[in-house]
Amino acid sequence: MLESVPSWWRATSPDDSAVDIRKALETIDSPFFLVDRGNGPEAHTSGEIRLGCDKPGDQWHPALATVRALPISALGSRSFLKRHGLRFPYVMGAMANGITSEAMVEAAGKNGMMGFFGSGGCTLPRIKEAIARLKQAAETKPFPFGFNFLHHHGAPEAEMALCELYLKEGIRCVSAAAFLTMTMALVRYRVTGIHLGEDGRVVTPNKVIAKLSREELAEKFMSPPPAEILNKLHARGLITDTELALAPRIPMADDITAEADSGGHTDNRPALALLPAIQAVRDRMMATHGYPEKIGVGLAGGIAAPVSATAAYAMGADYILTGTINQGCREAGTSDKVKALLAQARQADVTMAPAADMFEMGGKVQVLKRGTMFAMRAAKLLAVYQSARSLDDIADADRAFVETKILGKPVHEVWNDTKTFFDDRDPTQVAKAETDPRHKMALVFRSYLGQASLWAIQGLEKRSGDYQIWCGPAIGAFNAWTHGTPLAGPENRDVTTVAFNLLIGASVEARSRILASQYPSLAGFRFLPKTSAELAACSREID
C-alpha cells in the first residue's frame, strides 16, 4: 500500500483564516487546503504548502488535502480559445428557425463564448437581417459569433447561395451540420481567402466547426478538401490559383463537435463511446497529414449539469456545446408555451419522429413527446406515405384521419398551399411534383412537418397539439438538477447564467473529486444552481 507524502501548511497572513469547506471548493480561482490545526479538518484558500518533508516548524500544521485552483478558462483547450477569440470553452449550438436567436448569440459572444445563429430553415433575407443585427451589436465592442451552415439535401443551388451570402457579409465562422459528404458550397467557403502567413503557414480566414456523430464523416472533415471539387471550383472561377494550390495543406474543419444523443437530427450515439472514437480519428488524421495546428474535438449531446460537463472535460473535450437547455431560456427564439413545456420535461419525455428535410429517406429527429401529439401524427404520415403511391391512392380511412386529425383540410387544398410556398422558395420542387405523384405526396406531408416547428415557435394556440419541439434527454437532466432552485422556472433561465453554472460547476465538481481522493470522508459534494451574483463570487473571470 502506498503511503501518503507528508504535507504541511502554514498561514502567510492574518487573512488566512478558516472558511466553510463548500465555499472554499467553490472559490475556484484559489487553491484549496484542508488543514488540521488540532480541532479537526478546516478549509483555507491561501497559505503556504510544503510537501515530502518533516514538519518545518511550530507554525506548520498537517495538510490533509490540497487542490489546485481551476479557473473556468483552464477547462478544455487553450488553442481552441485562441483560434476563435474566446475566453471560455463553451459553445451555444445552432437551433434552426432562429431558435438560437440573435439575442442568444450576442449574449454568448459578449461573455467570452461562441454562439451560432440558427439559420437552418430561414430565408436568405432573414439570415441577412440576423447578420446585420449582430454586426451592429458588435460595432462598439467586438465579440465572436458564427452562423449555421446547414446542408441543403437535394438543393445545391440554395446551399451555394448561402455560401455566397456568408462570403459577401464576411462571416468568418460557421457550424457545418447535416453533411454526409463535402459539397461545392462548403469547400468554396472553407478555401476562399486562404493564403500564406509570414511564418510560411497557411492562414484560413474562414473557420469551420463541423458537427457530426460518425467516424467516417469525421475523416472527411479532417481531410483536405477533395481535389475533384477544388478543380471544379477553380474551373468555374470560384477560387483562385493560390487557393487551389494551398487547399491540400488544410483540413476541411478546424474543429469537430462529436454530437451524441441530442435534440433534432441525431444518431442517438452514446457520448462515452463517441468522443474517444472521434478523438482517435483526429489523432490518426493528424499523423497522416501533419497539420501544424491540432484539430479540436468538442462534445455535444446530453450536457445538462455540471457533472456531465466535468466528465466531458475530463475525457479531453476541447470544448462543450449545449443546445436543448438553451431552448428553454429567455433569449431563445421560441414561444413561452414551448419554454413552459420544456421546463416540465423529464428524460424519458422525448422520442424520435420523421424529419421534414429527410422525410422520404426515413430520416428522423428527436422531439418532445410530453404535451404534444406531433410525434404520433408525424409517424402516421410516414406510414401513409410508405403504403400509398400518390395522394389519390390513399385509403379512405387514412385519408379521413389525415385530413381531419392532422392537416385540418383536404390534401389537395394543402397541395395548393404547398405549391405557393415552393413557387417562391424552390420552383424545381413544384416541377418535379407535377410529374411525380409520390413526390407531390411527400411535399404535402412535409408541409405539416415543417409548419409544426413554426407553430411551436409562434405559440399558435389552435395548433398546440401539433407542436414540433426539437429536444434531447438533456432537458430532463437539467430540470432534475434545477428542481427547487431559482433556475427551475423558465422565466429565470438565461443562457449566460446557465452557461456559467455549468462551467463553474464543472470546475467545482472536478475539485471535489480531487479532494475526495485525498480525504474520502468529504466525498459527495454537489454543485447546486446559483444566481448570477452568487456565480460572480465563485470566479473572478466573470465580468
What are the pLDDT tens digits along the chain (543 aa)?
345 788 999 999 887 789 999 999 999 999 999 999 988 999 999 999 999 899 999 999 999 999 999 999 999 999 999 999 999 999 999 999 999 999 999 999 999 999 999 999 999 999 999 999 999 999 999 999 999 999 998 889 999 999 999 999 999 999 999 999 999 999 999 999 999 999 999 999 999 999 999 999 999 999 999 999 999 999 999 999 999 999 999 999 999 999 999 999 899 999 999 999 999 999 999 999 999 999 999 999 999 999 999 999 999 999 999 999 999 999 999 999 999 999 999 999 999 999 998 899 889 999 999 999 999 999 999 999 999 999 999 999 999 999 999 999 999 999 999 999 999 888 989 999 999 999 999 999 999 999 999 999 999 999 999 999 999 999 999 999 999 999 999 999 999 999 999 999 999 999 999 999 999 999 888 999 999 999 999 999 997
Residue where a domain terminates, one of 54, 69, 84: 69
Residue 246 sits in the same domain as residue 300:
yes
Q: What SS3 string covers 362-414?
A: CCEEEEECCCCCHHHHHHHHHHHHHHCCCHHHCCHHHHHHHHHHHHCCCHHHH
Burial string for 180-207 (b: 16+ CB within 10 Å, else e) reads eebbbbbbbbbbbbbeeeeeeebebebb
Residue 249: give its domain's CATH number: 3.20.20.70
Q: What is the CA radius of gyration of the chain?
A: 26
Q: Do 158 and 90 share a structural domain? A: yes
Q: Residue 454 domain-assigned? A: yes
Whether 363 is covered by a domain: the verdict is yes
Contact 265, 225 (CB under 8 A): no
Same domain, 436 and 461: yes
Q: What residues are paired with 352 via a beta bridge?
A: 366
Q: Are residues 86 and 188 in the same domain?
A: yes
Residues 231 and 111 occupy one common structural domain? yes
Does residue 536 form part of some domain?
no
Do the domain assignments include residue 317? Answer: yes
Alpha-carbon span 14 to 46, nearest angstrom: 11
How many CB atoms are located within 10 Å of the residue 260 CB? Answer: 24
My answer on whether 307 and 199 are in the same domain is yes
In a domain, 449, yes or no: yes
Assess whether 310 and 178 both reside in one domain: yes
Instruction: Check whether residue 143 and residue 22 sit in a common domain.
Output: no
Q: Which domain holds residue 17?
A: 1-69
Q: How many domains does the chain have?
A: 3
Look up the pTM and report it: 0.95
Which of the listed residues 69, 94, 118 is the one where a domain comes to its end? Answer: 69
- Containing 310, the helix (H) or strand (E) segment is helix 306-314
Same domain assignment for residues 220 and 95: yes
The CA–CA distances, whole Å, from 323 to 222, 239, 306, 391, 489 equal 24, 34, 15, 37, 18
In the listed set 69, 97, 126, which residue is the last one of a domain according to the structure?
Answer: 69
Instruction: Mark whether 109 and 25 lie in a shared domain.
Output: no
Q: Are residue 159 and residue 278 in the same domain, yes or no?
A: yes
Q: Has residue 525 been placed in a domain?
A: no
Residue 381, all three cell numbers: 404520415
Domain-located, residue 205: yes
Q: Are residues 50 and 144 in the same domain?
A: no
Q: Is 488 within a domain? A: no
